[in-house]
């Protein structure tokens, strides 16, 4: 009899709902305890959330006029963040594929962290759409049973459907794996692996559907192109894994996450391929717009060259391109990516590049000039940025809490002990 | 134009869920010790639990119309009557605009604001008049060359032509297709309408509209009480709230009563035409046969019911 088995045999038989309740209470306990830097981080996040909530209250009482969106540019920073975060949610899980191909590390930890990042990213996605809506108190109008969802016509309904399914699947996987670890049971691979594998096509699905939300709009020539979905995916495969590399490094430093440098360098190599494809897709789009120029190329013109009065979109675009290209060099050259500092720098550049490219770099050229040819200069308002920062902080808080539980479970410090219950 | 057929006024229903809600709301307000709040809450609750317009029965529509008439009468101190007049059989509305006549005076824009209770502060205009160099008519309109902010002492300015744009009431309307809640749809008489109580304000319709016809209430709209137009349609010119999308409804409150849209009546040069596309002898059909006619962005296959004439 192994130690594990004898330990388990010593536990009294509890029904699983009771153990699960204990799991939740213990999780809360783990989250509430920590060292000084941990508390400082939490307090920082709570402050950002507080400022976001007050900015949102301001938005609710005055209307979306507190943003700099107007009829000419009717979607802005919120929807840009949404598009970026759907990519993060999707790409984090796609890292599961190379995890299997390369067969590295304790697979469960990698899957777990990726899934946790997905969950936090989707929560942020939902929040970003919610803060963008003019009348959030009636969003139930799109829910089946309560409202009249325009399904299957509206791509927004498809997006709600895939995002919520994806959220449920990932949330279930995370909870299942952690709960099994907590109770000292080995997870049932035959049960959970098919679900994990299901999350992979679902990840592609959420980002494709989000791209289609834009692609389906024939009024917006800049988005009405088949390359948009592939570009969404390729850019997400850069930003998602890059974010995970940074998170792995932080957790390796402060936590007990066993991630070898070899593993990180492998992810760096994958990022080189992803960024190569991403840049290629961009090149294809630019070629089509400029070699076979039509009236619709005006958006691409604005994107890369701006107009006399306005250069901001062009600055965004070139910045994103410079970030992405530099990151690509860092990922591609083996001697470079095997230096941790270079890898970290390249990851930060890739995340920044994609954030601009998929955020305002996607939204603004799509909506400028507007459908009647007017050029309106949009930059997010301070209130808008504060709300967005609040949403990011909520996501970070959720991620921190879930990772803390996950690390405690995998390190064995958070274990089910029946006798600890009075 | 054919004769209007009024929707028959159904009998007033007795105590209902709405009555219950009203009582409940007043009770809550009384508890809070604020009669004003109770009044506000009453309306909010009733609107909040109201179904999508297309799922309302005739009696329920009647209730809504009566409730809104009461509310607006009180709010604006006028004898407001809200109607929900339905479409006439055998009518498909079409709008015609002769750009060789239009002088760009924007009387239509402000007649529309007055008629349709658009917000005065901030200003919302359902009609946007673009000014082009006269040669645009030869080259084809490149909308980026249009200027909606022209400000001359006198119009028409030399060598300029004008292109007023509002909702094109497309047969294949992208906006109704993308709406996640079905809060906007095309009526049998071709008018694309919005249920302001059902709109969640996601602005997907605005992203999908090729004509910039849809406008969002970025904040609470304001209309001076003395300027309110008391003749209102539930799906048209009744006052909107912050966070909803609005647009031209072909003056649904007028045309379903057999009248012309306000912009047409305001036009000093007779550039605007309106009528039944299903009647081959109507003025609009005759003009479509005899004038050079085009629609905006025909390549998008939205099939507008707004036609431009020239020459």
Structure confidence at residue B293 (pLDDT):
95
Does A58 score more than 90 pLDDT?
A: yes
| Among candidate residues B236, B245, B232, the one with its CA nearest the CA of residue B70 | B232
Averaged pLDDT score across all residues of chain B = 88
pLDDT tens-digit series, residues A230-265: 999 999 999 999 999 999 899 888 877 777 788 888
Does A48 score more than 90 pLDDT?
A: yes
Contact A63 B142 (CB under 8 A): no
Structure confidence at residue A216 (pLDDT):
95
User: Range(s) for CATH 3.30.70.20 in chain B?
Assistant: 86-311
Longest dimension (CA), chain B: 69
Residues of chain A numbered 159-218 and touching chain B (CB < 8 Å): 160, 213, 216-218
As for how many domains chain A has, the answer is 2
- Cβ atoms of A324 and A357 closer than 8 Å: yes
Distance, CA of A90 to CA of B103 (rounded, Å): 54
| Among candidate residues A118, A99, A115, the one with its CA nearest the CA of residue A107 | A99
- Cβ atoms of B56 and B10 closer than 8 Å: no
Going from the C-alpha of B286 to that of each of A55, A352, B190, the distances in angstroms are: 56, 59, 19
Contact A134 B204 (CB under 8 A): no
Please give the residue of chain B at the shortest CA–CA distance from A131.
Answer: B202
Are A365 and A399 found together in one domain?
no
Residue A139 lies in a domain: yes
Are A161 and A273 found together in one domain?
no
Average pLDDT, integer, range A322-350: 95
Q: What is the DSSP letter of B210?
A: T
Does B6 score more than 50 pLDDT?
A: no
What pTM did the predictor assign? 0.90
How big is the CA angle at A251 (ends A245 and A263), to the nearest 5 degrees?
40
Are A59 and A208 found together in one domain?
yes
Establish how many alpha carbons lie within 13 A of residue B217's alpha carbon, considering only the half-sphere containing its beta carbon. Answer: 27
> Which residues of chain A have a CB within 8 Å of the CB of B218?
63-65, 69-70
- Cβ atoms of B223 and B117 closer than 8 Å: yes
Domain that residue A42 falls in? 38-219+382-414
Mention every residue, 6+ apart, whose C-beta is less than 8 A from residue A175: none
Distance, CA of B280 to CA of A176 (rounded, Å): 68
| Among candidate residues A91, A73, A95, the one with its CA nearest the CA of residue A83 | A91
Does A377 score more than 70 pLDDT?
A: yes
First-to-last C-alpha distance (Å) of chain B? 26
How would residue B43 be classed by pLDDT, with cut points 50, 70 and 90? low
Please state which of the ranges A49-53, A90-94, B14-18 shows the lowest mean pLDDT.
B14-18
Distance, CA of B245 to CA of B187 (rounded, Å): 17
Are A187 and A149 found together in one domain?
yes
- Using DSSP's 3-state secondary structure scheme, residue A92 falls into helix
Distance, CA of A134 to CA of B242 (rounded, Å): 7
Are A302 and A337 found together in one domain?
yes
CATH, domain range B86-311: 3.30.70.20
Residue A17 lies in a domain: no
User: What ipTM was assigned to the predicted interfaces of this complex?
Assistant: 0.92
Strands B160-165 and B128-133: antiparallel
Residue A149 contacts B, CB cutoff 8 Å: yes
Q: Looking up tokens 């760096």, which residue turns up? A: A268
| Among candidate residues B128, B96, B102, the one with its CA nearest the CA of residue B248 | B128
Residues of chain A numbered 18-47 and touching chain B (CB < 8 Å): none
Does A11 score more than 80 pLDDT?
A: no
Contact A141 B165 (CB under 8 A): no
Are A365 and A388 found together in one domain?
no
Are A215 and A71 found together in one domain?
yes
Are A154 and A287 found together in one domain?
no
First-to-last C-alpha distance (Å) of chain A? 29
Query: Judging by beta carbons within 10 Å of its beta carbon (0-12, 13-18, 19+), is residue A420 exposed, middle or buried?
Result: exposed
Q: Tell me the residue length of chain A.
A: 422
- Cβ atoms of B225 and B76 closer than 8 Å: yes
- Residue A390: its H or E element: helix A382-410
Residue A375 lies in a domain: no
Please state which of the ranges A255-259, A396-400, B132-136 shows the lowest mean pLDDT.
A255-259
Are A344 and A389 found together in one domain?
no
Does A165 score more than 80 pLDDT?
A: yes
Please state which of the ranges A30-44, B39-53, B139-153 shows the lowest mean pLDDT.
B39-53
b/e string for A298-320 if b means 16 or more Cβ within 10 A? bbbebbbebeeeeeebbebbbeb
Are A356 and A300 found together in one domain?
yes
Does A208 score more than 80 pLDDT?
A: yes
Residues of chain A numbered 52-91 and touching chain B (CB < 8 Å): 62-65, 69-72, 74-75
Structure confidence at residue B30 (pLDDT):
41
A149 vs chain B: nearest CA distance in angstroms?
5
Contact B48 A137 (CB under 8 A): yes
Are A152 and A176 found together in one domain?
yes
Averaged pLDDT score across all residues of chain A = 90
Are A200 and A87 found together in one domain?
yes
């Amino acid at each position: 009899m192994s130690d594990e088995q004898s330990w388990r045999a010593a536990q009294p038989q509890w029904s699983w709902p009771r153990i699960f309740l204990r799991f939740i209470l213990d999780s809360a306990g783990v989250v509430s305890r920590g060292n000084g830097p941990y508390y400082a981080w939490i307090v920082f996040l709570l402050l950002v959330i507080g400022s976001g909530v007050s900015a949102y209250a301001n938005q609710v009482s005055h209307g979306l006029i507190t943003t700099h969106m107007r009829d000419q540019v009717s979607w802005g920073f919120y929807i840009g963040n949404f598009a970026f975060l759907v990519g993060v949610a999707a790409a984090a899980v796609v890292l599961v594929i190379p995890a299997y191909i390369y067969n590295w590390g304790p697979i469960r930890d990698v899957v777990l962290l990726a899934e946790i990042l997905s969950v936090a990213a989707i929560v942020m996605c939902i929040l970003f759409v919610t803060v963008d809506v003019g009348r959030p108190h009636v969003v139930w109008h799109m829910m089946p049973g309560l409202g009249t969802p325009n399904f299957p016509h509206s791509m927004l309904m498809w997006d709600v459907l895939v995002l919520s399914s994806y959220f449920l699947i990932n949330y279930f996987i995370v909870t299942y794996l952690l709960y099994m670890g907590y109770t000292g049971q080995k997870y049932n691979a035959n049960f959970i692996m098919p679900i994990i594998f299901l999350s992979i096509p679902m990840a592609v699905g959420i980002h494709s559907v989000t791209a289609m939300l834009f692609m389906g709009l024939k009024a917006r020539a800049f988005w009405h192109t088949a390359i948009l979905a592939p570009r969404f995916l390729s850019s997400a495969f850069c930003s998602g894994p890059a974010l995970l590399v940074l998170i792995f490094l932080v957790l390796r430093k402060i936590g007990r996450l066993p991630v070898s440098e070899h593993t990180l360098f492998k992810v760096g190599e994958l990022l080189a391929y992803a960024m190569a494809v991403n840049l290629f897709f961009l090149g294809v789009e630019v070629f089509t717009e400029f070699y076979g120029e039509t009236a619709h190329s005006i958006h691409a013109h604005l994107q890369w060259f701006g107009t006399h009065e306005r250069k901001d979109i062009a600055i965004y675009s070139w910045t994103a391109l410079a970030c992405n290209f530099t990151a690509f060099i860092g990922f591609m050259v083996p001697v470079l990516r095997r230096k941790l500092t270079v890898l970290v720098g390249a990851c930060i550049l890739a995340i920044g590049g994609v954030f601009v490219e998929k955020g305002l770099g996607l939204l603004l050229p799509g909506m400028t000039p507007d459908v009647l040819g007017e050029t309106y200069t949009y930059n997010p308002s301070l209130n808008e940025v504060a709300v967005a920062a609040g949403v990011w902080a909520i996501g970070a808080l959720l991620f921190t809490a879930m990772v803390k539980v996950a690390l405690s479970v995998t390190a064995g410090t958070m274990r089910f002990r029946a006798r600890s219950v009075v | 134009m054919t004769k209007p057929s009024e929707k028959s006024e159904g009998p007033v229903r007795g105590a209902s869920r709405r009555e219950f809600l009203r009582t409940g709301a007043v009770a809550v307000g009384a508890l809070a010790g604020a009669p004003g709040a109770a009044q506000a809450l009453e309306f909010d609750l009733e609107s909040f639990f109201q179904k999508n317009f297309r799922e309302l029965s005739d009696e329920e529509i009647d209730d809504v119309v009566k409730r809104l008439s009461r509310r607006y009468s009180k709010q604006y101190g006028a004898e407001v009557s809200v109607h929900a007049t339905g479409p006439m059989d055998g009518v498909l509305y079409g709008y015609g605009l002769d750009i060789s006549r239009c002088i760009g005076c924007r009387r239509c824009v402000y007649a529309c604001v007055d008629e349709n209770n658009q917000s005065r502060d901030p200003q919302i205009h359902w009609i946007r008049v673009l000014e082009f160099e006269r040669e645009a008519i030869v080259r084809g309109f490149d909308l980026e060359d249009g200027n909606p902010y022209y400000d001359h002492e006198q119009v028409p300015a030399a060598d300029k032509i004008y292109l007023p744009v509002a909702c094109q009431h497309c047969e294949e309307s992208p906006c109704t297709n993308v709406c996640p809640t079905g809060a906007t749809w095309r009526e049998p008489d071709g008018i694309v309408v919005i249920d302001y109580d059902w709109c969640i304000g996601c602005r997907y319709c605005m992203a999908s509209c090729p004509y910039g016809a849809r406008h969002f209430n970025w904040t609470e709209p304001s209309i001076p009480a003395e300027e309110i137009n008391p003749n209102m349609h539930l799906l048209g010119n009744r006052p909107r709230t912050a966070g909803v999308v609005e647009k031209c409804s072909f003056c649904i409150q007028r045309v379903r009563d057999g009248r012309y849209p306000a912009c047409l009546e305001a036009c000093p040069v007779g550039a605007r035409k309106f009528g039944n596309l299903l009647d081959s002898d109507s003025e609009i059909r005759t003009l479509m046969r005899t004038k050079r006619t085009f629609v905006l962005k025909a390549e998008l296959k939205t099939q507008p019911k707004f036609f431009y004439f020239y020459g």
